[in-house]
């Protein structure tokens, strides 16, 4: 797939996916969303990729929101279809089976905040501004903001962000658990890569199933979630990676995982 609005690069096992529309602060239009879908589907099936770092080009914005020109002319049917398409693409990101780190380098508003929340881990630059300003336009968040944000930060804090439409600072996002860490902008991608490589050094099947169990279990009762965890634990015990990992620990050597 040829891309016009994003950049996909694979370096040493990491896919770097960058929204590349800096003149419009990396705003999301329909074409960009389709390209993101294509890029993440490609990455999902690549054996040479163990994880993703997702960011925006330039120093001002991760993704500053949706393309308002497209939103302004949509009908009710168009609006529902747009929301469902967005849900589908963000579900691909969230359930990729590989860790995705959002490197939030500046504004992450509206759809930008929503895409970041679909990523496995969020790291922010110290100049980041994060929020859901849709109510200021007379609309509601449509790419999962009303659902993922309360699950990440709690209902009260989520409603404050969603109803005021005001962005919060990177430090505030860290305080409420919306981002995992804050770094100087010049260090953000390096820190993201360092974290991702630590994750990728672990058993890839264990990483995949840990993400799946955590995501699905968080929507269940504790009893149901614990049953899911037990099933996943039993499944992982059938793998060659489990035998290699435990053997390597006992033999005091680095494990050589093979995703089997």
Active-site positions? 114, 134
Q: Are 6 and 18 in contact (CB under 8 A)?
A: yes
Residue reference for tokens 């002319």: 73
Max intra-chain CA distance, the chain: 64
- Give dist(CA 120, CA 99) in Å, integer: 6
Instruction: Decide: 106 and 59 in contact? Cβ < 8 Å.
Output: yes
The Cα–Cα gap between 143 and 90 comes to 8
Torsion of CA 244, 247, 253, 255, to 10 degrees: 10
């Amino acid at each position: 797939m040829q891309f016009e609005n994003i950049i996909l690069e694979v370096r040493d096992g990491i896919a770097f996916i960058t929204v590349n529309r800096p003149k419009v602060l990396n705003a999301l239009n329909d074409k960009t969303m389709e390209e993101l879908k294509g890029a993440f589907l490609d990455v999902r099936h690549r054996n040479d990729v163990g994880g993703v770092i997702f960011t925006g080009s330039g120093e001002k914005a991760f993704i500053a929101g949706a393309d308002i020109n497209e939103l302004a002319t949509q009908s009710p049917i168009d609006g529902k279809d747009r929301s469902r398409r967005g849900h589908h693409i963000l579900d691909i990101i969230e359930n990729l089976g590989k860790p995705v780190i959002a490197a939030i380098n500046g504004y992450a508003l509206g759809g930008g905040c929503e895409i970041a929340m679909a990523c496995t881990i969020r790291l922010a630059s110290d100049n980041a501004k994060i929020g859901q300003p849709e109510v200021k336009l007379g609309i509601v968040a449509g790419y999962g903001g009303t659902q993922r944000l309360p699950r990440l930060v709690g209902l009260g804090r989520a409603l404050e962000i969603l109803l005021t439409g005001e962005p919060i600072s990177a430090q505030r996002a860290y305080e409420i658990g919306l981002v995992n860490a804050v770094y100087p902008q010049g260090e953000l991608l390096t820190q993201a890569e360092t974290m991702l490589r630590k994750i990728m050094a672990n058993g890839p099947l264990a990483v995949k199933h840990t993400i799946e169990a955590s995501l699905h279990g968080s929507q269940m009762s504790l009893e149901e979630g614990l049953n899911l965890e037990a099933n996943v634990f039993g499944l992982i015990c059938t793998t060659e990676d489990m035998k290699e990992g435990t053997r390597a620990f006992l033999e005091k050597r680095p494990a050589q995982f093979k995703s089997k």
